Amino acid sequence: MPSPQQNATAARRQAQQQQISSVINGLQKTSEAELARTNAQRAVLEATLINLRSKLADLEADNWMFEAPRHTFH
């Protein structure tokens, strides 16, 4: 039969293990939230990049309108 001291030690260990499990679960949830936030930010940045590339293509297509004439009159 375990002594009261052994029972107290076992109870402390169990409490510590529960605390550790709780911390690990909290970290996993935080990691999942961070991953979701990172993925959302990446999606926004990718959409912005696609939009900017499209606008750049439009500007390059219209570039001829803004070029100086290439010939001179004498």
Confidence of residue 74 (pLDDT cuts 50, 70, 90): low
Q: How much is the pLDDT for 27? A: 87
Q: How much is the pLDDT for 61? A: 85
How far apart are alpha carbons 31 and 65 in whole angstroms?
Answer: 51
* For the chain, the helix, strand and coil percentages under 3-state DSSP, each to the nearest 5: 85, 0, 15
Is the pLDDT score of 4 beyond 70?
A: yes
How many separate helices (H) and strands (E) can be counted in the chain? 1, 0
Q: What is the pLDDT of residues 16-69, one digit of tens each?
A: 999 999 999 888 888 999 999 999 999 999 999 999 999 999 988 887 777 766
How far apart are alpha carbons 37 and 31 in whole angstroms?
Answer: 10
13, 21 Cβ separation under 8 angstroms: no
